[in-house]
Amino acid sequence: MSSETGPTGGCLCGKVRFCLAEPVHEVGVCHCAMCRRWSGGPAFAIECDKEIEFEGEEDIVRYRSSEWAERAFCGACGSNLFYRIVDSGQVILCAGALDDQSGLTMKSQIFIDEKPAWYDFANKTTMMTGEEAFALYAPPKAQGS
């Protein structure tokens, strides 16, 4: 990786590495059933620009989880890497993949209506239901995630 200017990260085994163009700060949590099944818990995600430089692209496996989005993970170790809106190319990175997490803040929680009762975060964040989140972020025809 030649232009290591921004935050870096990668998967558990180290085959997939990435470098972001810009620093990131805000973490959004998604409690939806699909994210919980994918992540083993709520998904901690960071909206990123499209300028992510990947190393080990050949180890990235992409699962098309819906008509408009795919979820990517390392084929060697299974670490979740990102959620990507296919049309726009918008990447929503898994916060846990970042090397340095000291500058992160939990900013929002979405699909709060799908959150199971057995956990609650004490962080003060914006809360949105799935419907509210879709109204804000998703293409009008989108349903589910």
Q: Which residues bind Zn ion (CB under 5 A)?
A: 11, 13, 15, 30, 32, 35, 74, 76-77, 145
110, 92 contact by CB (below 8 A): no
CA distances from 63 to 19, 20, 70, 79, 120 (A): 22, 22, 5, 13, 29
Q: Smallest gap, in angstroms, from Cβ of residue 73 to Zn ion?
A: 8
Instruction: Kindly state the smallest distance separating residue 26's Cβ from Zn ion, in Å.
Output: 16
HSE-up (13 A, CA, CB side) for residue 98: 24
- Measured over the CA atoms of residue 32, residue 35, residue 40 and residue 44, the dihedral's sign is negative
- Select 22 or 121, whichever has its Cβ closest to Zn ion: 121
> CB 118 → Zn ion: shortest distance, Å?
17
CB of 14 to Zn ion, least distance (A): 6
H/E stretch holding 135 reads helix 130-137
* Residues 13/74, Cβ–Cβ less than 8 Å: yes
